Amino acid sequence: MKKVVSAFLFFVVGCDMADYQRRMDESSARLKIFDEENRYLGKAIEPPSLREKTAEKETSINPWGIDVFLRLPRGVASAPEEQPIGLKDLVAFKDFLLFKYAGDPSVYVAVAGLSADEEKSKEKKEKSKEVREPTHKEFRDRVKELAAEAMRTRESANLECDPKEEPATRIVSVPAGSAGGERKLTFETFQCEARPAVKDKDTLGLVFFHYYQHAETQVMIVFQFVKGREDQKMMELCVRSLALEAEAGARRREFARMRPKK
């Protein structure tokens, strides 16, 4: 009987030790990931806020409609500029604006729902003037238009893109130690140049677009670099941190727990 009890206790202790070692390994992996991100990334993104007026009161709303987590590059403002791009013509698509997070690089973010059926969406647009969700192509093209508008009106720069260039697929691996576990995020990417409005002047820098789709939500993250400061590693770590809805909440809690104390 004593041998049976001893064997049982040894088994239990062994399981506890194995579980303890597993949790220690996971914690060590998370710290390693966090340390690498901290070399390139800064604060977590703050969602935009718009004023909505009714006859009774004025309230603040999040135009994205969902929880979004994204760690921005170091030195980039965590809150967007007050004036979103596209506010004057917010009639074609539902809650579709581009927000600029100023810094070096500047980061633009757009979030919208998804109208999956291109033909039905076109038919609905022709028959009705109701605001609706954009299709994949409409979202991608409209973000490009809004980014061009922002650079033209705020920086006297022109956004020049090769119309023949097809978007490339970029698969970003999220390591096992991250919140949410190991997985892969698939982005559709393309790049343009920001050029001064004055002709015959050299390019001001490159602009990288990263499109992501999850269920009925689509996201575009745009990086505008000053010439010569492009950083692929920083962009990869930034887009890798993207999380939506429930996962965004988990990432935010983990970030609050692990970020360096001031």
Length of the chain: 262
Q: Convert the pLDDT of each residue in 145-175 to its tens digit.
A: 999 999 988 888 889 998 888 899 999 988 8
Specify the residue for token string 């970030």: 255
pLDDT of res. 204: 82
More confident residue, 242 or 119: 242
Domain boundaries, the chain: 2-258
Is residue 78 classed as helix, strand or coil in its secondary structure? coil
Distance CA 70, CA 110 (A): 12
Residue 190: closest CA among 204, 205, 206, 202: 206
Is residue 222 classed as helix, strand or coil in its secondary structure? strand
Contacts of 185 (CB under 8 A, 6+ apart): 171, 172, 174, 212, 239, 240, 242
pLDDT of res. 51: 78
Is residue 260 classed as helix, strand or coil in its secondary structure? coil
Contacts of 91 (CB under 8 A, 6+ apart): 131
